[in-house]
Amino acid sequence: MKNIKNFKRYHPDSVDKKWLEHAVGAIFLISEDGQDWYECQKSFQPDTMKVEYEADGVIRSMGYDISGFCPEGCSIAEVLAWPQEAAPNRKWCFIDGEIVPRVYTADELREQATHKRDYLLEQAAKIIAPLQDAVDLDMASEAEKAALLVWKKYRVLLNRVDISKRPDIAWPEAPKK
């Protein structure tokens, strides 16, 4: 099976390729062993799964049609078997010729938890703002006042989430809208 590594952009010397680069914005890639991306595509089997993966093994994309890939800064490998449970997302890696589940670092887990918390806080703020306006303007119904209280409690609980416990965080449940 093919495994062509580390494609980087280069500027071609040939007049035809230079014209393509400037006229239509074509990019030209070359692997670490000197293979031109457009030329080496012919060496892949048409009926095999191909994966485009980053230097750390994280799979960026997968598919059967090699012409749909643009592996700048990545490598391309053919694989015989794609794990049935492996959805095409960034939760899988290509390591030592195998598709394996991705193992996140502590920093990545902390970053994911922080992003989730911030997103949930943002969503809560969007709901709280008009409810708070109604209360501030003395226009709120009893249902709006009750909803505001529930959403503010939820926001406090989100702010108290201990990100250091990732990935085993007990996220508070959002109130029903």
Which residues, in sequence order, are CB contacts of 113 under 8 Å at separation 6+? Answer: 161, 163, 166, 167, 169
What pLDDT is stored for residue 161 in this prediction? 94
Judge whether residue 39 has pLDDT over 70. yes
Judge whether 91 and 102 are in contact, CB under 8 Å: yes
Q: Which residue has the higher pLDDT, 52 or 88?
A: 52
Task: Specify the 3-state DSSP secondary structure of 10.
Answer: strand
120-172 per-position pLDDT tens digit = 999 999 999 999 999 999 999 999 999 999 999 999 999 999 998 888 899 99
Q: At what angle do helices 106-136 and 142-159 cross, to 10 degrees?
A: 160
What pLDDT is stored for residue 166 in this prediction? 84
Task: Specify the 3-state DSSP secondary structure of 130.
Answer: helix
The pair of structure tokens assigned to 19 is 């014209």
Judge whether residue 114 has pLDDT over 90. yes
Mean pLDDT across the chain: 91
69-100 per-position pLDDT tens digit = 999 999 999 988 777 666 655 588 888 888 88
Lowest mean pLDDT among 39-48, 96-105, 106-115, 129-138: 96-105
Q: Give the residue-averaged pLDDT of 28-33.
A: 96
User: How far apart are the C-alpha atoms of 119 and 130, rounded to whole Å?
Assistant: 18
Which residues, in sequence order, are CB contacts of 153 under 8 Å at separation 6+? Answer: none
Task: Specify the 3-state DSSP secondary structure of 55.
Answer: coil
Which residues, in sequence order, are CB contacts of 60 under 8 Å at separation 6+? Answer: 52, 53, 54, 74, 90
The pair of structure tokens assigned to 137 is 């303007």
